[in-house]
Structures are given as structure tokens and as C-alpha cells.
Structure 1
Amino acid sequence: MRIFLSVLPTVLLVAYSQIIVKWRVVSLQVAADRYGSGIHKYIFYLFDPFVISAYVAGLVGSFAWLFAISKLPLALAFPIYQGLTFAVVVMASTLVLGEPMSSSKIIGICMILGGVIVGARG
């Protein structure tokens, strides 16, 4: 349980970052198109306060990961981090972004989390 709690801040911050970036890119699409294509469009995205918060969350998540990995074996922490991040992003994309949830996604999440649990016990 200590391992999950050590990795959880990184998982939540990275998931937040991914969800927010996707949400803002979609919601700002029309406004960004006025800037044309190429670098100007991406600069417009980059200066959005929510996108900035997503990048800050990613940076803080990196620091949280450094803290977690200094206390945990990498072979144990990394699969837990990857598996939980995948599950949280898929569930949050359904809840926040309205992306469809299918039975194959649910089965995939269960299989990944099952593997993470088996690996964490080993």
C-alpha cells in the first residue's frame, strides 16, 4: 500500500496534465485556427492558463516521481506508475472529456491493474 501511495501523486499530476491539455486543445481549436497553422497556433495554445497549469503539474509530477523513486525499487514503482496512469487517464477521459468507454477498455484496465497487483506482490 505504501508503494501505491508513494506513486499516486505522480499518477494524478500526470493524468491531470494529459486531460487538461486534450481538453484545452479541443476547446480552443476554433480560436487557434485564426492564428493559422504552424508555430503561431502552438504558441497560442502554450500561453493558455490551463495549458500552463498542465505543464506545471507535469513538472511537479516529475519532482514527485524523483521523491518516490528515491525510496522504491524501480522494477516495482515503474509498472505501478504506468498501470495506474493508464487507468486514471482512460477513466478521466470518459468522465471529463466524454470519450466513449467500451468493454474492451474496461477489460484492458482490469488486466493492467491485475498485472500491477500481481507484480507489486512479487
Structure 2
Amino acid sequence: MGYIYIFGTIFFTVYGQLILKWRIVQYGALPELFSDKIAFLFKLLFDPFIFSGFVSAFIASLFWMAAMTKFEVSYAYPIILSGLLLLTTLLGIVLLDESIQSGKVVGILLILLGVFVIYSNSPNIS
């Protein structure tokens, strides 16, 4: 049951990151003048999709707190981090047309291998 909390943390974090990136790109670059930056950021804040990204981050934090009742942080965090890295990268490529380089692929594979090594002989549920 505890893994549902890890999955929820990953899902809602990835959703928030992707939705923020998708919508912020629609608004263009951050202005140069400080007053224009503030107005720009407030305009972003009131975009319903961007707001949903913030809500999603809050929900992800609730799932994270629940996960902390079931797992040691040293166990749960690497799983979440590798899941975030993998899903955000893949979905960024597929949904946002982001670039992929061989170095990025190798780096992600090395991180996933490292997480596998960490868990190959680790107790999981506290």
C-alpha cells in the first residue's frame, strides 16, 4: 500500500512540472524590468492551468508525507527522484517536443542503474 504514496508523489509532481512548462512557454520570456516581471508573474499565477500545477505540487507533498509514514527517506527519495527524472524527461520529449541527446540518455540510465544497485539488498518498508 505504501508504494501508492510514492506513485502519487511522482504522478502529481510530474503533472505539475509539465503543465507549468507548457503554459509558461505560451506567455513568452520573462520581461527585463522588475515591475514588468512582477506583473508577468502575477499573470502566470492566475492562469488556471498554472494554478493547477501549484495544486498538484501541494497534493504531491501530501503523498510524500504519507510515504514518509511507510518508508525510510533514504529508501523512498531515490525511487521518487529516479521516477521524476525518467517520466519528466520522457514526457517532456513526447508532449513538449523537447530535445534528447545521447548524453542525457546515458545519464538517466546510469542513475536508474544506481538506484537499482541501492535497492538490490536494501530493506524497503520501515
TM-score, normalised by the number of residues in structure 2: 0.84
The alignment partner of 2:69 has SS state of: helix
**Cross-structure match for 1:40:** 39
Alpha-carbon shift at residue 60 of structure 1 (Å): 0.2
Query: 4+ runs of 1 displaced by more than 6 Å?
Result: none
Alpha-carbon shift at residue 111 of structure 1 (Å): 1.0
Unaligned runs of 5+ in 2: 122-126
Deviations 1:45-93 (A, max 9, x none): 0000100110010000000000011100111111111111111111111
> What CA distance in whole angstroms lies between the structure 2 residues aligned with 1:4 and 1:101?
29
Letter in 2 for 1:72: F
Alpha-carbon shift at residue 6 of structure 1 (Å): 3.7
Is the helix fraction higher in 1 or 2?
Answer: 1
- Verify the 8 A CA contact 1:3 1:77 in the aligned structure 2: no
> What CA distance in whole angstroms lies between the structure 1 residues aligned with 2:79 and 2:97?
26
Q: Percent identity?
A: 29
- Verify the 8 A CA contact 1:80 1:120 in the aligned structure 2: no
The alignment partner of 2:51 has SS state of: helix
Letter in 2 for 1:58: A
> What CA distance in whole angstroms lies between the structure 2 residues aligned with 1:3 and 1:84?
16
**Cross-structure match for 1:107:** 106
Letter in 2 for 1:57: S
